[in-house]
Structure 1
Amino acid sequence: MYVIYAWMRAADDLADAEGFAPEERVRRIAEFRAATDAALAGEIPDDSPVWRGLAWVAERHQLSQRDFHDMLDGQLSDVGPASYQHWDDLRGFCYRVASTVGLVCIRIWGYHDPAAPALAVDRGIAFQLTNILRDFREDYDLGRVYLPAEDFRRFDLTPESLRGWKQPEQCAEFMRAQCDRAEQFYVRSAPLDQMITPSCLPTLWAMTQIYHGLLVKIRANPAKVVSDKRVRLSSARKAWIAWRASRMARGARA
């Protein structure tokens, strides 16, 4: 998993690299894609431990080239200003940048039910929607509005009015509707926890507790998404999640 995280971190950095024109970022992502393809084929492009590790993990767990390509396509979407007209457009973006990660993870962790991949897709969408809600202010200030334009029209809002929280009741109602959509994906994907290898469950459980905890805080106080202080879990809550996950891990090894 460390190798996959390092690969994803590198890909994300290419899309968000400051000081480079969009064209240069696109070129760098294309080079990264070619190197990824080489590693997945067992042809290590250089001596970087990331490529050596990726080649080993991909062969051992039969990872799909398509998942990595989809992830990189998602990074390309973030090279410039982002906007989405419809929910289906946003859902496709969430699949590319988050569901693909879930698919790679469960293939490494192992699962025993053929329904697991579809549920991993839903869990990834839940996580990414939570990210989008939490980061609305920061993304807006960077010229990125991920929430669908059709939703803004439905609530008679604009991204600008949401950023300024100019119509508090409508803004809060809009955000709660977005939270409810994300919640549906957490609920739908709940059976996934019983389908993956038990020794790997603590990792998924902890991630879900963190992301879902953020969603609960946003729904309870929607205006937090435009405040200067980012929505976070308390240190005590994060410590409890870590403690509980460690107990689960010890129990799985027993």
Structure 2
Amino acid sequence: MTLTASYETCRRLHARFGRSYYLATRLLPSWKRRHVHALYGFARYADEIVDASSTADDRTAALDRLTARLATGLAGEPTDDHVLPAFIHTVRSFGIDYDDIDAFLQSMRADLTIARYSSYGDLLDYMEGSAAVIGTMTLPVLEPLPGWEKEAREPARQLGLAFQLTNFLRDVKEDLVRGRVYLPQDDLARFGVEESDLARPRVSPRLRELLAFEAGRAREHYRAALAGVEMLVPSSRPCVQAAHDLYGGILDEIERSDFEVLARRVQVPRHRMLATFARHLAAASAAAKADRYMGVEMPGWA
């Protein structure tokens, strides 16, 4: 497994499973794209392990093996893994915080044993590792402006939280099939929703009210993330803005369907996705020129 092949594996994982975010990355300079693909590919790789249709012991053992291979790889040992070479190279190239990686793996491990969350605070604790740190791991690749590195972390966290909460609303039934309910138990009780309501073919009025409430929370995370766009170098801004709009478009479609997420998997129509991409394409071209004017240079082999 060459490094180039590993990056290509990650790109294919991203293209297959992260349709909206993958499209947004097309607005990045090419040297940045591969690193975002590597981060997404690693996250998806671990996620597929915990979602596999095998026994709990098998999933635990597989995650243990991945964690061990990652540790030896980060220590400088070679690995024949298909995803890890690209991920490790990206981590080293940008000095990505190992604590963020550990937090992500801890949340993946939680999915092996925890299937319900009592409160939104408990869910946020889980999402800190499963989503917020994806934002902060990506941040060095996107390049905060000098002096804004610390301030840019919180909007990056918020965007990760917004994306994942959107996923939870879209995938209620899919998650239930896997035995998980990410809607907080306190909120189910507050709106009088039973877990059996999540298995019905159509959304009940009470479940619709609950989903609308959670969508409002997601909107708050999206709003909190927007401040971070201007904290990045110009060439990264169109990608992040497009990702914000494309994933926010999933939430728009959920609301447009009147929260009918049980009958089908809600998706943004292709023509709307392409229209959003096209709207940011000219800005991406202008931003690349602005980076050159500012003296932003491509590092090494990145």
TM-score (norm 1): 0.91
CA deviation profile, 1:106-145 (whole Å, cap 9, x unmatched): 1221113221111111111111100000000111122111
Assess, with a 3 A threshold, how the Cα gap between structure 1 residues 167 and 248 changes in structure 2: closer, same or farther. Answer: closer
Match of 1:45 in 2: 78
> 2:140 is matched with which residue: 92, 107, 131?
107
Measure how far apart 1:96 and its partner are. Answer: 1.2
One of 124, 141, 145 as aligned partner of 2:177: 141
- Per-residue CA distance 1:80-102 (angstroms, 9 max, x = gap): 56111111111112111111110
Say whether 1:175 aligns with 2:185: no
Counterpart for residue 32 of structure 2? none
Find the partner of 1:97 among 103, 124, 130: 130
160, 163, 173: which is aligned to 2:196? 160
Unmatched 5+ stretches in structure 2: 1-35, 290-302
Aligned equivalents of 1:50, 1:166: Cα separation in 2: 39
Q: Distance in 2 between matches of 1:188 and 1:147?
A: 21
Give the distance between the partners of 1:9 and 1:169, measured in 2 at CA.
Answer: 34
- The answer to whether the aligner puts 1:11 opposite 2:46 as a matched pair is yes
C-alpha distance in 2, partners of 1:57/1:164? 43
Map of 1:1-254 to 2, 5 A cutoff?
A: 1-18=36-53, 20-41=54-75, 43-48=76-81, 50-79=83-112, 82-112=115-145, 113=148, 114-164=150-200, 168-227=204-263, 229-254=264-289
C-alpha separation in 2, matches of 1:54 and 1:231 = 30
Q: Which moved more, 1:159-168 or 1:192-201?
A: 159-168
Identity of aligned residues (%): 26
Q: Which has the higher contact order (CA 8 A, sep 6+)?
A: 2
Q: CA RMSD in A?
A: 2.0
Distance 1:167 1:13, change over 3 A: closer
Q: Contact (CA 8 Å) 1:206, 1:241: kept in 2 or not?
A: yes
Counterpart residue type for residue 211 of structure 2: M
Which segments of 5 or more consecutive residues in structure 1 lack a partner in the other structure?
none
Q: What is the aligned residue count?
A: 251
